[in-house]
């Protein structure tokens, strides 16, 4: 071997280079391989480790993408770059190109949350506000698209830089999803798993458009104001009760309280009235047992029939419901199942009317003032 051949071989060996990325942290998504003037030698070794993808960019234009493995860089392994460079018969000199290594492992336990309360319109409680927070996991599914659309010329891109964008995207899509779900307010907290799956499905195309795959999405909590929680708990308990039994129970308790109020005229009158009623009932029960008879000259007193209780029908969600009694309708108004604008109807009314326009139901609205006492 001549002297010039040895010099040529030595220079050729010096041109051999290794392109790889070893030092990276868990929060690094993308790292640009730095070389002097971005020059890479002919025949250089490219080493792409598991959990990495190498992307070649030529003058801002996406070229070749390499998955895990070891490669010798020549025209066979760089077909797109060779076309861009115009290498028809191979190349011998160093070439310029930017090499980005993308971390493709799963980024887990990323936090998200609603910065401001979300306003929803509930059928029973009106406008209400909720907040939500949770976690999500993502990974880079299309390294080339991610480099071009997100990273740009950043030489060291971390998940912190993309998280703010992703959290804003999640909050927007979450608001749209819960708004369109139109669930009763108490069911949002009870169906977080189903809601999480729906949100992930809705958000996935947005993530994919920039080369990211949304692998997991979790709603950990949906919160609401404390006063609204109390109303929901009270409503749920009332909803489980028999309204007719509840009305009778409350009426009996009111009579008992009035009768116990010995210092008040109303209480005394109520007590005497109850005494007369009880005396009549007990007399009626005891007379047959004691063999009591009415005098022959006294005609038997037959009480008139008890008037039938007024029954009301009401409209809810475009459908007819009922019939219910006056007290049951009052209870429905108290727990906000019906309101002043709910359409109601009873026998004798020509048409349906708003509750606020039915004379005897106006008492539900409060603010009623009794007329002055006679002679006052």
The full set of domain ranges for the chain reads 7-103, 107-225, 241-262+310-366
DSSP state of 142: -
Averaged pLDDT in 10-residue chunks for the chain of 376 residues: 49 64 82 79 88 89 91 82 72 78 90 86 78 92 90 84 87 84 74 86 91 92 77 62 63 72 48 45 47 53 74 86 85 83 88 88 70 61
The structure tokens listed for 144 are 């080339």
Q: Do domains 107-225 and 241-262+310-366 have the same CATH topology?
A: no
What's the pLDDT at 211? 92
The answer as to CATH 3.30.1490 being correct for domain 241-262+310-366 is: yes
Domain 107-225 sits in CATH at 3.30.479.30
What's the pLDDT at 299? 59
What's the pLDDT at 52? 92
Specify whether the CB–CB gap between 258 and 270 falls below 8 A.
yes
What's the pLDDT at 369? 54
What's the pLDDT at 207? 92
What's the pLDDT at 40? 83
Burial of 99 (0-12, 13-18, 19+ CB in 10 A): buried
What's the pLDDT at 61? 86
What's the pLDDT at 235? 62
What's the pLDDT at 239? 56
Which of 108-118 are b and which e, b meaning 16 or more Cβ less than 10 Å from the residue's Cβ? eebebebeeeb
- Of 245, 269, 267, 246, whose CA–CA distance to 256 is shortest? 267
- Of 168, 36, 47, 172, whose CA–CA distance to 101 is shortest? 47
What's the pLDDT at 268? 43
pTM summary value: 0.54
């Amino acid at each position: 071997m001549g002297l010039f051949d040895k010099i040529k071989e030595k220079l050729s060996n010096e041109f051999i280079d290794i392109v790889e990325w070893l030092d990276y942290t868990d929060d690094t998504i993308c790292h640009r391989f730095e070389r002097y003037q971005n020059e890479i030698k002919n025949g250089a070794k490219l080493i792409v480790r598991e959990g990495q993808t190498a992307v070649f960019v030529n003058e801002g234009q996406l070229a070749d993408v390499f998955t895990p493995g070891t490669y010798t860089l020549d025209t066979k392994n760089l077909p797109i770059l060779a076309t861009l460079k115009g290498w028809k018969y191979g190349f011998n000199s160093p070439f310029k190109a930017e090499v980005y290594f993308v971390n493709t492992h799963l980024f887990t336990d990323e936090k998200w949350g609603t910065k401001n309360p979300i306003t929803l319109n509930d059928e029973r409680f009106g406008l209400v506000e909720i907040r939500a927070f949770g976690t999500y996991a993502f990974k880079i599914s299309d390294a080339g698209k991610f480099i071009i659309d997100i990273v740009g010329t950043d030489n060291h891109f971390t998940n912190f830089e993309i998280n703010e964008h992703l959290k804003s995207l999640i909050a927007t899509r979450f608001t749209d999803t819960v708004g369109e779900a139109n669930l009763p307010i108490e069911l949002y907290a009870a169906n977080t798993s189903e809601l999480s799956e729906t949100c992930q499905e809705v958000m996935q195309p947005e993530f994919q458009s920039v080369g990211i795959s949304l692998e997991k999405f979790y709603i950990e909590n949906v919160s609401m104001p404390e006063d609204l929680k109390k109303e929901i708990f009270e409503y749920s308990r009332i909803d489980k009760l028999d309204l007719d039994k509840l009305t009778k129970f409350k009426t009996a308790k009111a009579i008992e309280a009035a009768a116990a109020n010995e210092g008040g005229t109303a209480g005394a009158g109520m007590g005497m009235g109850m005494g007369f009623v009880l005396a009549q009932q007990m007399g009626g029960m005891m007379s047959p047992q004691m063999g009591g008879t009415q005098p022959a000259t006294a005609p038997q007193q037959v009480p008139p029939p008890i008037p039938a209780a007024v029954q009301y029908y009401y409209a809810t969600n475009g459908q007819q419901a009922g019939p219910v009694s006056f007290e049951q309708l009052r209870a429905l108004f108290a727990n906000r199942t019906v309101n002043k604008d709910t359409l109601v109807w009873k026998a004798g009314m020509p048409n349906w009317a708003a509750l606020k326009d039915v004379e005897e139901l106006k008492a539900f609205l409060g603010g009623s003032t009794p007329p002055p006492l006679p002679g006052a």
